Structure 1
């Protein structure tokens, strides 16, 4: 079956390196993960042949690369907490401070990202609340195999992921898609580099939950229901 008939989420899950290609073309494989590639390309007016060539030329999965779709629930949750939850807390604290410094120092610059610091602080608070709910409520339920009662909090987490995806889109708008002005200072460069890392990490984080952890939990709920 042509890759055009695969969902964005399944491509991100099953093809090593596909997330980089989808990132490049700004295709949301997290909250729009159920969209078929053909549908997503049509919406964006993208060249299907070009995107397919990029996807089909990706190398096969390295034996040392973890396939998280085959991991246990405990392994995946441990990875999400260690690799993403803890990292996001550090990222957002650093970026909030750095963005305020850049806005204060360059407030009269034509390309100053006014409003970025406030937006990052709002995202930090919302993401911290979200992660605490996962760590204190949802993840313990999944570790105990409580798949049926977990469906309600999973539904809430998916909706909050949609909000996070919109927040990331707003980050790109505020920074003109991370386009640095000529002669940008080191702080400005570090800020946009850090936002780029946050964007990639949070998209991958949401992907692991929406397209692997939550889908697996739903299948388990059906099997045991």
Structure 2
């Protein structure tokens, strides 16, 4: 059945097939932090021809069968995936990238002063992300697990010291917006992660690592904003309706 992409949000389109993220990246459409925007408005905001975007999505669809169908995963399995893949990788890879960037700045910073700005932005990002991950791991995700268990056991909605789950979710989404904007700035400062002619191997490598880090962060934010958070809010509502 042919999909009516014009009536779908960009978050829904990527949740339907994560391969579509490549198309949105091509046209500069933000599907993670602004995933609730309908495709026509998102295309207009990015200065993209919506018909061309849809054409690329439809051409991609037949070869995108290898993408993981996250939207049909159980909610607690999605939480496991985010914690064990995305959170671990941020904590493992982030400091390594920062260390390499610090070395590159010492060698190339004088000729490429924008590197110092990238250095500051990445350090701020890793500090904020560490606190962000702590809040998800210690507050939000444990409650999601409790709600899933309550649903399976036919129990009532468990008590939550934050009130509604929508309260911490709104904080997480705001922090996602901050990180999305920060990495858009990093991308701009590095000219789309393009290495200058005088770049050494380490300079080229750190740009590749920053690009990969941002791509993984986009998937992380997309999974939470467009799949996990809406389903958690829906689950809370279901448990409230059936005490």
Structure 1 length-normalised TM: 0.93
Alignment partner, residue 73 of structure 1: 75
- CA distance in 1 between counterparts of 2:194 and 2:221 reads 25
Alignment partner, residue 211 of structure 1: 226
C-alpha RMSD of matched pairs (Å): 1.7
* Residue from 168, 178, 183 that aligns with 1:153: 168
8 Å Cα contact 1:114-1:174 kept in structure 2:
no
Q: 1:95-110 maps to which residues of 2 (within 5 A)?
A: 95-110=97-112
- CA distance in 1 between counterparts of 2:46 and 2:22 reads 17
State yes or no: 1:94 paired with 2:109: no
- CA distance in 2 between counterparts of 1:69 and 1:174 reads 34
- CA distance in 2 between counterparts of 1:206 and 1:164 reads 9
State yes or no: 1:185 paired with 2:187: no
- CA distance in 1 between counterparts of 2:232 and 2:171 reads 14
The number of residue pairs the alignment matches comes to: 224
Shift of 1:190: 0.6
* Residue from 136, 139, 146 that aligns with 2:138: 136
After superposition, give the CA deviation of every residue in 1:178-217 in whole Å (9 maximum; x if it has no partner). Answer: 1211141011111100011011000000000010000001
Q: Alpha carbons of 1:65 and 1:52: their partners in 2 closer, same or farther (altered >3 Å)?
A: closer
State yes or no: 1:199 paired with 2:199: no
Shift of 1:123: 0.3
After superposition, give the CA deviation of every residue in 1:95-140 in whole Å (9 maximum; x if it has no partner). Answer: 1111111111012224752221111111000000000110011100
Q: 1:156-171 maps to which residues of 2 (within 5 A)?
A: 156-171=171-186
* Residue from 72, 85, 88 that aligns with 2:87: 85
Stretches of structure 2 lacking an aligned partner (at least 5 in a row):
148-157
8 Å Cα contact 2:94-2:126 kept in structure 1:
yes
Structure 2 length-normalised TM: 0.86
Stretches of structure 1 lacking an aligned partner (at least 5 in a row):
none
- CA distance in 2 between counterparts of 1:37 and 1:221 reads 28
* Residue from 189, 213, 220 that aligns with 1:174: 189
Query: Which protein shows a greater Rg?
Result: 2
After superposition, give the CA deviation of every residue in 1:139-191 in whole Å (9 maximum; x if it has no partner). Answer: 00000004873221111111111111111111112212112111410111111
Q: Alpha carbons of 1:39 and 1:131: their partners in 2 closer, same or farther (altered >3 Å)?
A: same
